[in-house]
Structure 1
Amino acid sequence: MKVLVIDDHPLMRSAIKREIKDHKPQARVILCAHKDEGMEAIRNQTIDLVIVEIGIPGGSMHTIREMRAAARGIKILVYSSVNEAIYALPAVASGAHGFLSKDSSGDELRIAIDMVLDSKTYFSKTIQETLLSQVIANVDASNHNPLQTLTPRERIVVHLLLQGKKIKTIAEMLNLKESTVSTFKANVFRKLQVGSLIALSEKMAMLR
C-alpha cells in the first residue's frame, strides 16, 4: 500500500509518516512538500491514499478535484489546520473522502485512515452534528459552500474588490450608491467570515 503525504511543514510530514508506519507498518509512505510535486506522484504512481493539507500554497477545493481527475480510484483524506467548520463539507463535496483537523489526536488520525481506506467518509463529531442538523432542516449538504450564499451582485462586487477597485469606483461602474456597495462588501465579509481583502482573496481561492 502506498500513502502520499502532501504538507509543506517538514516536521508535520515526519509526524504523519510516523503515525502511518506505527499503524500500518507495511505501508510505503511518500512525502511531498508541494502540490505540484504531489500531483506528479499521483500521475506517475499507483497511490492508495493521499493525506493532504489543503492550506498549502496553491491548495484549494480545485486541488482535490484535480487529484480525483488524475486518479479516479484514489482515496483522499484532508488533514488540515484550516477551519473544519468552513472547509470540511466543501472538501468532501469536491471529492475528498474525509476531513480531519490537525488538532485531532493520533488515534483519530488512525480511525480516519481506516475509514477512508474502507471507502467510508470520515467526519469529526462536530461536523457529523452539523450534517445531522442539515438533514433535520432538509438542507442538501453537498451545497454547503459559503460561496453559494453570495448573490450574483455580491459576486460581482467581490470580483471587482479583488481586482483592486475602490468602493467609489465600483459604485460608478455598477451605477449604485457607495453605501449600497459598502453594504454588499459587508455582507460578503459576514457570509465568508473574513475581516480583510487579503483574507477574502485567500478564502475565495481556497473555496473555488
Structure 2
Amino acid sequence: MTRVMIVDDHSIVREGIRILLEKFPDIMVVADADNGRAALDVAAKAAPGVVVMDTSMPGMNGIEATQRLSVECPSARVLILSMHKDKRFVAQAFRAGARGYLLKDCTSAELVHAVRSVAAGEIYVCSGIIGVVIDDYIKRIPDSLHQGEAALTPREREVLQLIAEGNNAKNIAFLLKINVKTVDTHRQQIMKKLKLHSVAELTKFAIREGFTSLDN
C-alpha cells in the first residue's frame, strides 16, 4: 500500500487529487497540507511514502519543503506536481531531492503512474520536461542560478521568501519563532550575499528564481 500526502495551497486541487488517487486500492491518501511548512509537521506524523508537492506556495515553497523533507523525513519520496516547466524550477526540484516531476496538465492516468513509479524507487520525469532534464543534467549545461543564492543558508532562504511575500520583520519572527533582531540580521546577510540593496530588489530576485510567485 502506497501512503500518499498531498501538498498544494488550493483546497480544490488537494481534494481532486485525493478523489482520483483513492479510486485505486493500492494507494491511500493519509494526509494533506496547504503549504511547505505545514507539510513538514504533517509528514512527521503521517509517515507518507510519496508526497505529491506543488512548487509555488506561500510561507514555504515546494522546493524548500522538498529539501527539508529529504533530511527530516528521508523515507518520503517527493513527486513535484507543478505548472512550471522552466528549467530553473525543474533543476531546483531535483537538486532539492525530488524523485519525480510532473506538470499539472497531465492526465489522471499519468499521475497515478508517476505516484507508483516514485513509490517503487524510480525517478519519474514527464514527457513535457524531459528535454529540460536532458539539457541540464546529461549535457551538463552550466548552472544558471545566481552564485549568491547558492550560498544562502536554509534559514536565509526561508526569510527571503517571507520578505518577498510582504511579511515584515515582526511577522517573520513570529512565523519562524525567532526574534526580530535575528530577522534583521538574516535580511542584512541575504542582501550582502546577493549584492542587493532594497526589499524591492529582494522581491524581484525571489520571484525570478522561483522562491515565490506573483500568484501567491
> TM-score w.r.t. structure 1 length?
0.68
Q: 1:27 to 1:73 in 2, by over 3 A?
A: same
- The CA distance in 1 between the partners of 2:98 and 2:138, in whole Å, is 24
- What is the Cα deviation at residue 47 of structure 1? 1.4
CA distance, structure 2, for counterparts of residue 56 and residue 30 of structure 1: 17
Write out aligned runs for 1:19-168 (5 A): 19-24=20-25, 26-57=27-58, 58-133=60-135, 137=139, 139=140, 144=143, 146-147=145-146, 159-164=195-200
Where do residues 173-188 of structure 1 align in structure 2 (5 Å cutoff)?
A: none
- Maintained 8 Å contact 2:30/2:46: no
Give the C-alpha shift of residue 135 in structure 1: 6.1
CA distance 1:201–1:55, shift in 2 (3 Å): same
Cα deviation, 1:161-188, whole Å, max 9, x if unaligned, reads 54457xxxxxxxxxxxxxxxxxxxxxxx
8 Å CA contact 1:43, 1:71 repeated in 2 = yes
| Whole-angstrom CA distance in 1 between matches of 2:23 and 2:85 | 27
Give the one of 200, 205, 208 matched to 2:205. 200
Structure 1 position 117, deviation (Å): 0.8
Contact 1:90–1:145, Cα closer than 8 Å, also in 2 = no
Contact 2:148 2:194 in 1 (8 A): no
Residue aligned with 1:112, SS: helix
Does the CA-based 8 Å contact 2:37-2:65 persist in structure 1?
no
| Partner SS for 1:50 | strand
Runs of 4+, deviation exceeding 6 Å: none
Letter in 2 for 1:160: L
Q: Structure 1: any 5+ residue segments left out of the alignment?
A: 166-196
Secondary structure in 2 aligned to 1:82?
coil
Structure 2 counterpart of 1:203, one-letter code = R
Give the structure 2 partner of residue 16 of structure 1: 17
- Indicate the larger mover: 82-91 or 92-101: 82-91
Higher-Rg structure is: 1
Question: 1:60 touches 1:205 (CA, 8 Å); kept in 2?
Answer: no
Percent of residue pairs identical: 16
Unaligned runs of 5+ residues in structure 2 are 152-190
Change in Cα spacing, 1:145 to 1:41, as seen in structure 2 (3 Å) is farther
Give me the whole-angstrom Cα distance separating, in 2, the residues matched to 1:162 and 1:60: 25
Structure 2 distance, partners of 1:62, 1:144, is 18
Distance 1:101 1:144 in 2: 22
User: For the Cα contact (< 8 Å) 2:145–2:209, is it kept in 1?
Assistant: no
Structure 1 CA distance for aligned equivalents of residues 106 and 120 of structure 2: 20
> Counterparts of 1:4 and 1:135 in 2: how far apart (Å)?
28
Q: TM-score, normalised by structure 2?
A: 0.66
